[in-house]
Amino acid sequence: MPALIKGQNGPLSTSQLVISVDLATAADLSALLVTDRGVVRSDADFVFYNQPTGPGVSLEQTPGGPGRLRISTNSLPADIDSVRAVITLADPGSTFGRFAPPVARVSDAAGRELYDYAITGLTTESVVIALEVYRRGLDWKVRAVGQGYAGGFADLVRDHGVSVDDEPTPPPAPTPAATTPPAYTPPPATPPTYTPPPATPPAYTPP
């Protein structure tokens, strides 16, 4: 079975494919179905654990593993140019550089392995586009991509046109309690201060 290196591609002789991943830590597998502009047509073209089916692609959960992607190239819509297989570490605080390189495998429906790809060179990334199954005329091929995203899963899918609502909704502002102004209390009356009249000198009487 041929081993791919980053950037290398190979022909596919079958329309029924299975993509799986070997990794030494918990991870999730997902797929982005993109047009020739590199973006999804809608959020329905994003296949992941909460939305495990899409047009021509399905995600099979595996106990304790990242799952398997099943791709039927003859069931993909005509305006879908490629399917990108994405590996995301289950622990968002972890990175691929802490583990041995993940290995992505492409098999046919009977389980015969067609290609494998050891994704080397990852360091601080927590998400990587592993492989791409893409259209070339009437044929389909597979490419070893190995593009990591240090920014995380939300950045990757947002770059592919998926709507991501990762901003929490702020709670409503509390309504201030009504305050009653204090009753007016007049100041205590102060008796007027007595001011004596100025002294008047006696009138001058000549001798």
3-159 CATH pick, 3.40.50.9100, 3.20.10.10, 3.40.50.1460, 2.60.60.30:
2.60.60.30
Compute the CA torsion angle 195, 197, 198, 203 (nearest 10 deg).
-170
Write down the pTM of the prediction: 0.77
Q: Are 116 and 105 in contact (CB under 8 A)?
A: yes
Q: What are the boundaries of each domain within the chain? A: 3-159
Checking DSSP bridges between strand 53-54 and strand 46-47, what pairing results, if any?
unpaired
95 CB burial (10 A radius; 0-12, 13-18, 19+): middle
C-alpha atoms less than 13 angstroms from C-alpha of 137 in its C-beta half-sphere = 3
At 51, list the tokens. Answer: 């939305």
Q: What is the per-residue pLDDT for 166?
A: 47
- Distance between CA 149 and CA 154 in Å, rounded? 10
- From first to last of its 207 residues, the chain has per-residue pLDDT tens of 689 999 999 999 999 999 999 999 999 999 999 999 999 999 999 999 999 999 999 999 888 789 999 999 999 999 999 999 999 999 988 999 999 999 999 999 999 999 999 999 999 999 999 999 999 999 999 999 999 987 888 888 898 999 866 433 333 444 444 445 555 455 555 555 545 555 554 554 455
